[in-house]
Amino acid sequence: MTIRVVVADDQALFRETLALLIGSEDDMEVVAEVEDGAAAFRAALEHRPHVVLMDIRMPGTSGVEGTAMISEHPDLVDVHVLILTTFEVDEHVAQAIRAGAGGFIGKGIRADALVDAVRTVARGESLLSPLATRALIARFLANPTSDTSVAVFEQLTPREREVVVLVAMGRTNDEIAAELVISAVTAKTHVNRAMTKLGARDRAQLVVLAYQCGLVVPGRRPD
């Protein structure tokens, strides 16, 4: 499969550099280069990319706003947003994750790590920078911002709830499998079923739900 990518950044030189880097990969194709969140949304509607690589701060329509526009459109459920940011621990990053972004990476990331990040998000997996995720959750996601209640998780089986807790703690499928003594395929199945039942676009949304409803509290593992 060729991964179709839209690159959204208001700095033309940086945007073109990203496009050249991504386009040089055998399994990737840049289908559009745009300058703000609204243009990214229009490009997503036109090209139906697998990934929108979105700068978080742009004049006009920001990356946060563009992410929300993409995530809320019923025809774009298969489009995943990967946020690019200069400051990884930033309230705007938390807002983008809440809006539906599949993850975020810092602009100082290595080229090989960036293309791997695009592949990860294209698969529907979350990508939350390990250097900033704990601080991000502690500062922003842990504070409920809606009427979401832990009761929404009652539709999950006990095993699915356990898996969601581990996802929220940053565990990969392989790590979940090792901890629960199950196969990685089974771990992935539990994650996918939990996402379907809760209406989460991806693992990042599972993390948001788990923290916002109090199923997981920073610094303490639930019983």
Residue intervals of the chain classified under CATH 1.10.10.10 are 147-212
User: Sorting pLDDT into bands at 50, 70 and 90, what band is 206?
Assistant: confident
Q: Tell which CATH architecture fits domain 147-212.
A: Orthogonal Bundle (1.10)
Tell me the whole-structure pTM to 2 decimals. Answer: 0.72
CATH of domain 3-139: 3.40.50.2300
| Maximum alpha-carbon separation in the chain | 50
pLDDT in tens, 91-102: 777 788 778 888
* pLDDT for residue 88: 59
User: Sorting pLDDT into bands at 50, 70 and 90, what band is 141?
Assistant: low
Residue intervals of the chain classified under CATH 3.40.50.2300 are 3-139
Dihedral (CA of 73, 79, 84, 85) sign: positive
Helix (H) or strand (E) holding 209: helix 203-212
